């Protein structure tokens, strides 16, 4: 899903790391004492600069820009941190990297012109002072990005570009069972942000393409008006996934929900999502056939046909983009 983002150091850690590296520099003896001091101080500045500026640039590069962040993830990041704060922190880190390069260039320039060893050491110390204050200035940004990183890592690994088939339907109608039937139990589970819910992501290969079957128990299985704001946002985030909805209907009566209740949810999901919806009847082993697509998770009747249907659907993914 996302490129891994490296651990984010705090300001003091980055300062210590960079200055420690710089302090180790020790130039060999030179007949002219000032030459040795000059070279040593230039090298220390250059080392502190590259250790920190390179790192800061790398951070900025590794975090997805909000434009590149898929809306599915952007939505959650926005809920948690505010997308403007995220952008601001990335800008501040970018600024700090550039500022350090600028300070270093200027200090090295002055060092080259300095005459006395004392002057040279003073220039380098001044640089260290400014260097530290630039980094201290972005401490809150680094901390915030560290939290963003941990948060992004925990988000469900839904491949937002590959075609997905998203399960919907009342509880106990056979969604989890169908997920397992379709994917031969090749299913990962991850926590859904801000909720106690899990998302199950099943994987199947169709003509060499990765297809995901996504089940979010507790999200698409009851009417939306009973939801709190976070659940609503979570449900709506599913809109951003390229996919088709598999709406599961159980005519057996064993789910405990009436057909009217199931139809109501179907109508609601149809209203809410502008996605193609395929109705799939389950439990065909214990009920009469009512839908074009009907399967049994017990004796696997209809499963291969449903797989073929999915295969035909994903051809349309490439044609129309969904
Ligand atoms: N007879 C029969 N039972 C099924 C079928 N699919 C699921 N079940 C049973 O229905 C119950 C609920 O299934 P589950 O997959 O957990 O439903 P979910 O809540 O929609 O995920 C379980 O006891 C399953 O064993 C089916 O095709 N035939
Ligand atoms: Mg389930």
Cβ neighbors of 101 (< 8 A, separation 6 or more) are 49, 53
Which residue among 261, 297, 300 is best mutated to probe the pocket of ligand 1, counting the most ligand atoms within 8 A of its Cβ?
Answer: 297
Report which DSSP code applies to 322.
Answer: -
Model's pTM, two decimal places?
Answer: 0.80
Domains of the chain in start order, with CATH, are: 11-154 (1.20.120.1190), 164-320 (3.40.50.300)
- Residue bearing the bigger pLDDT, 222 or 303: 303
Q: CB within 6 Å of ligand 1 — which residues?
A: 169, 171-177, 282-283, 285-286, 296-298
How far is ligand 2, taken at its centre, from the CA of residue 206, in Å? 24
Torsion of CA 218, 224, 227, 233, to 10 degrees: 90
Q: What angle do CA 278, 322, 83 make, to 5 degrees?
A: 115
Residue 172, judged by CB atoms within 10 A of its CB (0-12, 13-18, 19+), counts as: middle
Query: What's the gap in Å between 261 CA and the centre of ligand 1?
Result: 17
Q: What is the mean pLDDT of the chain?
A: 92
For ligand 1, the distance from its centroid to the CA atom of residue 199, given in whole angstroms, is 18
CA distance 125 to 107: 10
pLDDT digits (tens, 9 = 90+) for 16-52: 999 999 999 988 899 999 999 999 999 999 999 999 9
pLDDT digits (tens, 9 = 90+) for 104-153: 999 999 999 999 999 999 999 999 999 999 999 999 999 999 999 999 88
Q: Three-state DSSP class for 125?
A: helix
Least confident interval from 69-83, 98-112, 292-306: 69-83
């Amino acid at each position: 899903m996302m490129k891994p983002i490296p651990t984010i150091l705090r300001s003091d850690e980055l300062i210590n790391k960079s200055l420690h590296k710089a302090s180790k520099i020790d130039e060999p003896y030179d007949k002219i004492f000032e030459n040795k001091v000059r070279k040593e101080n230039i090298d220390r500045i250059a080392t502190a600069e590259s250790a920190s500026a390179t790192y800061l640039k790398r951070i900025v590069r590794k975090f997805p820009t909000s434009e590149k962040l898929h809306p599915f993830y952007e939505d959650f990041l926005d809920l948690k941190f505010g997308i403007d704060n995220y952008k601001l922190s990335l800008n501040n880190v970018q600024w700090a990297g550039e500022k350090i390069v600028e300070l270093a260039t200027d200090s090295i320039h002055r060092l080259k012109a300095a005459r006395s060893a004392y002057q040279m050491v003073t220039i380098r110390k001044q640089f260290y002072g400014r260097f530290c204050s630039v980094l201290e200035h972005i401490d809150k940004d680094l901390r915030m990005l560290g939290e963003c990183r941990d948060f992004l890592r925990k988000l469900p690994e839904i491949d937002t570009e590959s075609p997905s088939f998203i399960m919907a339907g009342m509880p106990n109608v056979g969604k989890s069972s169908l997920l397992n039937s379709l994917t031969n139990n090749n299913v990962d589970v991850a926590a859904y942000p801000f909720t106690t819910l899990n998302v199950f992501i099943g994987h199947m290969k169709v003509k060499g393409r990765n297809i995901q079957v996504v089940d979010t128990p507790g999200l698409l299985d009851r009417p939306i008006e009973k939801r709190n704001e976070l659940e609503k946002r979570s449900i709506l985030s599913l809109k951003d996934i390229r996919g088709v909805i598999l709406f599961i209907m159980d005519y057996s009566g064993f789910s405990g929900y009436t057909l009217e209740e199931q139809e109501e949810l179907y109508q609601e999901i149809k209203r809410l999502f502008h996605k193609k919806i395929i109705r799939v009847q389950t439990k065909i082993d214990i009920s009469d056939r009512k839908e074009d697509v009907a399967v049994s998770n017990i004796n696997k009747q209809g499963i291969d046909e449903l797989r073929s249907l999915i295969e035909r659907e994903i051809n349309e993914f490439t044609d129309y983009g969904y």
